[in-house]
Structure 1
Amino acid sequence: MTSLHIPRVRRRRLGVAVAAFGLIASFLAAGPAAATPDPGDAPDGKRMSKELAADTRAAMENGDIPGVDEIVHSKNIKHLASVGKGALGSLNTDLAFQGRYAFAGNYDGFTIYDIGNPRSPKTVSQVLCPGGQNDISVSGNLLFLSTDSSRSDNSCNSTSQPASEKSSWEGMKIFDISDKRNPRYVAAVETACGSHTHTLVPGKRTVYVYVSSYFPSEDFPDCQPPHDGISVIKVPRKAPERSAVIDFPVLFPDGGNSGSEGSSYETTGCHDITAFPKKRLAAGACMGDGILMDISDPARPRVIDRVRDNTNFAFWHSATFSEDGDKVVFTDELGGGGAATCNAEVGPDRGANGIYDLKRRGHHRELVFRSYFKIPRHQADTENCVAHNGSLIPVRGRDIMVQAWYQGGVSVWEFTDSSRPKEIGYFERGPLSADTLTLGGSWSAYYYNGHIYSNDIAKGFDVLRVDDRRTAGAARVRLHELNVQTQPDYR
């Protein structure tokens, strides 16, 4: 492959501003959930060989990669603030937004930040409620939290318990957040194989929740194969305690990708779904398959096209529509988020994004592959790095995305020409360690009302600003609420 251009960077050392936090004592739990990135195991602190460690240190000294914990960024990105994780000591995960608040998931629970002043975010409250991975979203006065680790019961005081035990619980938790300082746990819904992620399709009176989960086993009473679909939960806004699973639509009647060809995983469910309610569409990233669904009836999603990439995609992880809904970006989480895959050995097409044009109309729509995009900055062998969660920066006439790459940092890139994507800005920290593979970096990086917010697995909550003529139009866009997996119509 051709050598990669490493842009000039402006460097400065990490400064961490830790906000005060209020811990909700009524939700104290007995212990943390097992922290396991999907779909593989977290790095176990494995030390590199002396040769690899020496190579990493030499690259740091040469300026090819930043030093341990050193912050670097392109000229058009500014780092405004950092807030530590506070009382929640496990892995930070996803983000959601409402008004002046950001909601941040963590394997131990969730945090609510006041981002009214993006330069100085404040921790409003923290809820300790273990249940990895605590994927999070909000709608009105309701907050939704996914539990995908087998627990002794559905309370926030639960402990880990084997999935082989019939009494074990996994699923969806629902909180009332009308008082941001005192969220109130109001409902729980058990779902088959738990809830790894979830997607909201909100209405005035009802919220439909698509629950994605996978990896069934004959040994798990509540997670039996085949597991070829998703759970659909109906949530009455005024009576969330009456929430219930109303259907389990089978999305893969043929069983999906068998995993017998190439590098792809076997499809045993979906990892993540992004709904575009205005377009009545949803895109699903389902392990070995990418799918397009008609959600005209949100209670009954229906697959209308399916694509595979057994050559370069290992694990279909997430999806993002373009602003006009005429493209879909799928991510490949090669190595499950716990491996060093942003290097010359892996190359530019694996552990990357796949960009697809959406052709034809109605029930005849089809996904057509155009290109791959991967960050053009090689990372150290001690850095877990792969395509992960991102969102659009809403600029009329352009398709620009901000995206997390774990220890590859935060990338701003453009895919207006779906055949020629390119990075236009970035922010990253140097490796957590020069000689040990340690899990860290940005899990989610999203644009919301003028700023970029990143939930760093190890470091905490970061606020960035992008100053670039290509993204300037986004400054006029203001939303009251953003769950990235429920894509808004920015127009």
Structure 2
Amino acid sequence: MALSGLLATLFLAGPAAATPDPDRDPTTGVETAGSAGERTRAAIAAGEIPDVDEIVHSDNITHLANVPRAEGLGTNSDLVFQGKYAFAGNYNGFVVYDISRPRAPRVVSQVLCPGAQGDISVSGDLLFFSVDSSRSDDSCASEAQPATDPDSWEGIRVFDISDVRAPRYVAAVETACGSHTHTIVPERRNVYVYVSSYSPHATFPDCQPPHDGISVVKVPRHAPERAELSSFEVLFPDGGFPGDDSGSATSGCHDITAYPELDLAAGACMGDGLLLDISRPATPRVIDRVQDTEHFAFWHSATFSEDGRKIVFTDELGGGGAATCNAEIGDEFGANGIYHVTGRGDDRRLEFRSYFKIPRHQADTENCVAHNGSLIPVPGRDIMVQAWYQGGISVWEFTDSDRPREIGYFERGPVNGDRLSFGGAWSSYYYNGHIYSNDQKGLDVLRIDDRRTDPARGVRLSELNPQTQPSYR
């Protein structure tokens, strides 16, 4: 089936497009049931769909814990880590978990500060929070109001987390078209925040076309109250991919992953994939740009290999709200694209190698597509853990870029067996020996026992923002 036909079907049938209403909690009205036990690996391999909420997993994955999502939090989104804490974003704020005992995580604090979609990062004593919902003001007591209102606010909030039991709101910076996601590039004195946002409109006073780049916010570490918009960096002087029946027109970026040690970043920008030079963090510069008009509908996120010579880009076909992991859509749509970085300096280029998609078909009632993940740091191998919404959590290897393969998985059956409903894992990351996932059921903690991933257990980090990749060497 052609991608244009798939898109037409998905956008007519699915509950969300690539730009969902940020004030709507997609989990509202979802029916749930108790766990129905565990199904055999052979049954899943044979293509059987688990029962509603039934937990299934590969033999090398152990489910250690789940902390149910508290009432009033809204859709769970991204995860970051610092020391013994995990910080979990959601559409209405964020939660701090103590994960010093992975089998028994506990809630340390909960911050209610509505403003979808709650993408977060941490650096030292600071936490950054994305607001992509037009608000009446920048306070935590703000209410949603139309983007056509010139007094509406959206952008970046900054919190002081020196006391994780009582995070303190210290600054806010308004940015054009808000902040759907963001990426930090930390320095000794300042933290630069690359703000990704998109979908301008002539009727939006604070989000005017052409929106052909990213906002850069500068936050002084010792005076975060002086945070300010540093610049708006144009990344698409020619306007970017114009869009067609198959893919989204580029009007900004969805997400950027920085690799500060290599002075590189990878931008997933709707209709374009970018390789960026960030040797001067305040002024990122495009080195190369690629498009995939045959298979990619919406360039969503990116992950570097440890050596920086590969980039995994994800395609969020259907906007995260459609059932794209089935036989009808196949294994090359709503998937990952693996690219090699060839050449040197400004002659570096992105070269496509292959696609990877989970090999387990999902029900037509399950939203499923490639989403947020991170490396599992194994020397000499390229292994990644990744969330696929109701497709669950996949551990897969791309050491051989032409033959990627899944080596482990964890998933639940559909949240609803009768109609397409939103649910599943938004973000899944590896941190200090365990896999953590921000699922709509709450925080999941997993352990993988596999000779291919066991060497990663010895790697310890003091902080992890998956969109600001560390060097594990």
Scaled by the length of structure 2, the TM-score of the pair is 0.92
Question: Does 1:480 pair with 2:462?
Answer: yes
Question: Does 1:336 pair with 2:316?
Answer: no
- How much has 1:297 moved relative to structure 2? 0.3
Residues 241-390 of structure 1: pairs in structure 2 closer than 5 A? 241-260=225-244, 262-390=245-373
Secondary structure of 1:336's counterpart equals helix
Q: What is the aligned partner in structure 2 of residue 39 from structure 1?
A: 19
- Tell me, yes or no, if the aligned pair for 1:44 and 1:437 is still in contact at 8 Å: no
Q: What is the aligned partner in structure 2 of residue 132 from structure 1?
A: 116
The one-letter code sitting in structure 2 at the alignment partner of 1:173 is: R
d(CA) in 2 for partners of 1:37, 1:350 = 15
Residues 180-191 of structure 1: pairs in structure 2 closer than 5 A? 180-191=164-175
CA offset digits 1:303-348 (Å, max 9, x no partner)? 0100000110000000000011000000000000000000010000
**Fraction of identical pairs, as percent:** 71
Q: What is the aligned partner in structure 2 of residue 231 from structure 1?
A: 215
- How much has 1:38 moved relative to structure 2? 4.2
Secondary structure of 2:233's counterpart equals coil
- How much has 1:44 moved relative to structure 2? 8.6
Secondary structure of 2:455's counterpart equals helix
d(CA) in 1 for partners of 2:145, 2:51 = 40
Inter-CA distance 46–110: structure 2 relative to 1 (3 Å threshold): closer
- How much has 1:437 moved relative to structure 2? 1.0
- Tell me, yes or no, if the aligned pair for 1:43 and 1:338 is still in contact at 8 Å: no
Question: Does 1:392 pair with 2:375?
Answer: yes
Q: What is the aligned partner in structure 1 of residue 55 from structure 2?
A: 71
d(CA) in 2 for partners of 1:63, 1:313 = 26
Which of 100, 111, 114 lines up with 1:116 in the alignment? 100
Secondary structure of 1:102's counterpart equals strand
- Tell me, yes or no, if the aligned pair for 1:43 and 1:339 is still in contact at 8 Å: no
CA offset digits 1:193-229 (Å, max 9, x no partner)? 0000000000111100000000000000000000000
- How much has 1:45 moved relative to structure 2? 6.8
Q: What is the aligned partner in structure 2 of residue 460 from structure 1?
A: 442
The one-letter code sitting in structure 2 at the alignment partner of 1:39 is: T
Inter-CA distance 256–342: structure 2 relative to 1 (3 Å threshold): same
Secondary structure of 2:213's counterpart equals coil
Secondary structure of 1:473's counterpart equals helix
- How much has 1:185 moved relative to structure 2? 0.2
- How much has 1:88 moved relative to structure 2? 3.4
Secondary structure of 1:230's counterpart equals strand
- Report the more deviating stretch, 84-93 or 151-160: 84-93
d(CA) in 1 for partners of 2:28, 2:107 = 31
The one-letter code sitting in structure 1 at the alignment partner of 2:159 is: F
- Tell me, yes or no, if the aligned pair for 2:136 and 2:145 is still in contact at 8 Å: yes
Question: Does 1:432 pair with 2:415?
Answer: yes
Equivalenced residue count is 444
Residues 409-424 of structure 1: pairs in structure 2 closer than 5 A? 409-424=392-407
Q: Which runs of 4+ in 1 moved over 3 A?
A: 35-38, 40-47
The one-letter code sitting in structure 2 at the alignment partner of 1:369 is: F
d(CA) in 2 for partners of 1:120, 1:171 = 35
- How much has 1:86 moved relative to structure 2? 1.5
Q: What is the aligned partner in structure 2 of residue 489 from structure 1?
A: 471
Provide the aligned C-alpha RMSD in A. 1.8
d(CA) in 2 for partners of 1:105, 1:37 = 21
CA offset digits 1:101-136 (Å, max 9, x no partner)? 000001011000000000000000000010000101
d(CA) in 2 for partners of 1:132, 1:86 = 17
d(CA) in 1 for partners of 2:182, 2:170 = 18
Scaled by the length of structure 1, the TM-score of the pair is 0.88
The one-letter code sitting in structure 2 at the alignment partner of 1:405 is: W
- Gaps in structure 1 of 5+ consecutive residues: 2-34, 48-58
- Tell me, yes or no, if the aligned pair for 1:87 and 1:126 is still in contact at 8 Å: no
- How much has 1:40 moved relative to structure 2? 3.9
d(CA) in 2 for partners of 1:397, 1:420 = 16
- Tell me, yes or no, if the aligned pair for 2:157 and 2:172 is still in contact at 8 Å: yes
The one-letter code sitting in structure 1 at the alignment partner of 2:173 is: V
Secondary structure of 2:421's counterpart equals coil
CA offset digits 1:259-306 (Å, max 9, x no partner)? 03x511000000000000000000000000000000010000000100
d(CA) in 1 for partners of 2:150, 2:254 = 24
- Tell me, yes or no, if the aligned pair for 1:216 and 1:227 is still in contact at 8 Å: yes
d(CA) in 2 for partners of 1:45, 1:274 = 33
d(CA) in 1 for partners of 2:328, 2:166 = 49
